[in-house]
């Protein structure tokens, strides 16, 4: 873990846990997408079972390290099982995620975790299960984990990893020890991209658009990102000129709401653009927009965002509920445009 950059506070907290013989409590790794949460969770798991650990770092070659390296396959066990009436026993170390062709982590998978935690480890001193992304647990699955989280066995380690901690039921979230991760600096992202073989110029551009997410920077389609920004800017300009919000909402959904993941990214992009408009209105530097674009729109920032920012807050709520409640992505994107146009208000949404 010592080689993980940009997360010094999180690594220090986890390092303190490694230095004590006590089993770590159930943990919640939370922070922005692509900042190293999953990588750190796997490194921490390896350090807990490594037979030749040096400081914070696992050796990478012992049987424990190899088992962690192969843990990803655990998430597919339940999807291949024909039996749905009784829990399965997982290996000592596992990464439980959304199975292929599914959209959520099911109560069956959660029951498998709970059942596995009742048995002592087969090979190591601890059983370690990482759930990622934990915000995609179904409500029933999250609730079924409560007893295990409240009374974990002396050998059991449970790590929930998420970029949307608010999507977890408060009854579960409140029982987890939080480990907070932050966005990576552009310098760290550029350094990693350069190590992947990208040129300095491309690495800089990707890091700028990714806003601290290494995974997004690595996978980013730069031309598509620029087009998305231009599309949102055009929609905002047309809204400010009095065009009907309904028609623009439909255009936005056609551009951005192909699936839930693309809708979520598009709303995060919109929120960053709105932040830049608000910043430009008080002469602060934009994070994403070019200076000329933010200055051009700064005069209509209050009209779009609302006098007290209430319209932007409603967009943020729609983005959060898209992840938390698995809302229809088309309705979330359309709702964001209607909110900025003053057509949709907070009271129009269900409590």
Instruction: Check whether residue 107 and residue 226 sit in a common domain.
Output: no
Q: What is the DSSP string of 30-77?
A: E-STTSSHHHHHHHHHHHHH-SS-BTTB--SSSHHHHHHHTGGGGGGH
**Residues forming beta bridges with residue 188, ordered by sequence position:** none
Indicate whether 72 belongs to any domain: yes
Q: What is the rounded CA–CA span in Å between residue 129 and residue 53?
A: 20
Instruction: Mark which of 197, 220, 243 sits at the end of a domain.
Output: 220
Instruction: Check whether residue 24 and residue 171 sit in a common domain.
Output: yes
Instruction: Check whether residue 258 and residue 122 sit in a common domain.
Output: no
pLDDT at 286: 81
Indicate whether 61 belongs to any domain: yes
Instruction: Check whether residue 149 and residue 124 sit in a common domain.
Output: yes
Q: What is the rounded CA–CA span in Å between residue 190 and residue 200?
A: 8
Instruction: Check whether residue 15 and residue 146 sit in a common domain.
Output: yes
Indicate whether 1 belongs to any domain: no
The whole-model pTM stands at 0.80
The position carrying tokens 């935690």 is 117
Indicate whether 3 belongs to any domain: no
Q: Is 143 left (phi over 0), alpha (psi -120 to 50) or beta?
A: alpha
Indicate whether 77 belongs to any domain: yes
Residues with pLDDT less than 70, the chain: 72-87, 323-326, 351
Please tell me whether residue 85 adopts helix, strand or coil conformation: coil
CATH number at residue 43: 3.40.50.300
Instruction: Check whether residue 212 and residue 239 sit in a common domain.
Output: no
Indicate whether 287 belongs to any domain: yes
Indicate whether 2 belongs to any domain: no
pLDDT at 81: 52
Instruction: Check whether residue 193 and residue 160 sit in a common domain.
Output: no
pLDDT tens sequence across 66-111: 888 887 656 555 555 545 556 677 888 999 998 888 888 999 999 9
Owning domain of residue 321 = 222-348
Instruction: Check whether residue 199 and residue 252 sit in a common domain.
Output: no
The position carrying tokens 């964001």 is 336
Provide the number of structural domains found in the chain: 3
Helix-helix angle 37-49:8-18, to 10 degrees:
20
Residue 89: φ, ψ to 5°: -100, 120
Instruction: Check whether residue 255 and residue 119 sit in a common domain.
Output: no
Sign of CA dihedral 4, 15, 13, 116: positive
Indicate whether 60 belongs to any domain: yes
pLDDT at 86: 64
Instruction: Check whether residue 335 and residue 266 sit in a common domain.
Output: yes
Instruction: Check whether residue 74 and residue 25 sit in a common domain.
Output: yes
Instruction: Check whether residue 199 and residue 321 sit in a common domain.
Output: no
């Amino acid at each position: 873990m010592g080689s993980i950059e940009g997360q010094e506070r999180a690594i220090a907290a986890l390092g303190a846990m490694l230095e004590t013989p006590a089993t770590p409590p159930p943990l919640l790794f939370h922070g922005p997408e692509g900042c190293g949460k999953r990588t750190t969770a796997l490194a921490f798991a390896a350090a807990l079972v490594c037979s030749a650990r040096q400081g914070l770092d696992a050796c990478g070659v012992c049987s424990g390290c190899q088992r962690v390296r192969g843990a990803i396959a655990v998430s597919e066990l339940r999807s291949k099982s024909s039996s749905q009436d009784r829990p399965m026993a997982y290996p000592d170390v596992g990464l439980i995620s959304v199975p292929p062709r599914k959209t959520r982590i099911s109560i069956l998978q959660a029951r498998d975790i709970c059942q596995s935690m009742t048995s002592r480890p087969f090979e190591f001193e601890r059983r370690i299960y990482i759930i990622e992304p934990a915000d995609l647990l179904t409500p029933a699955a999250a609730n079924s984990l409560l007893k295990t989280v409240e009374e974990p066995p002396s050998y059991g380690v449970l790590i929930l990893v998420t970029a949307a901690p608010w999507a977890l039921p408060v009854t579960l979230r409140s029982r987890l020890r939080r480990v907070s991760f932050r966005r990576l600096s552009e310098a760290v992202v550029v350094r990693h991209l350069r190590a992947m073989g990208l040129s300095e110029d491309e690495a800089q551009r990707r890091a700028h658009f990714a806003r601290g997410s290494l995974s997004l920077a690595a996978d980013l389609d730069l031309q598509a990102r620029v087009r998305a920004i231009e599309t949102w800017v055009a929609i905002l300009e047309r809204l400010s000129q009095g065009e009907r919000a309904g028609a623009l909402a439909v255009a936005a959904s056609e551009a951005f709401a192909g699936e839930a993941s693309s809708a979520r990214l598009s709303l995060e992009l919109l929120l960053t653009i709105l932040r830049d408009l608000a910043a430009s209105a008080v002469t602060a530097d934009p994070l994403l927009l070019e200076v000329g674009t933010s200055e051009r729109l700064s005069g209509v920032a209050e009209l779009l965002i609302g006098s007290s920012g209430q319209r932007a807050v409603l967009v943020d709520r729609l983005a959060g509920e898209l992840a938390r409640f698995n809302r229809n992505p088309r309705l979330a994107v359309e709702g964001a445009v209607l909110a900025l146009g003053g057509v949709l208000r907070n009271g129009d949404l269900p409590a």
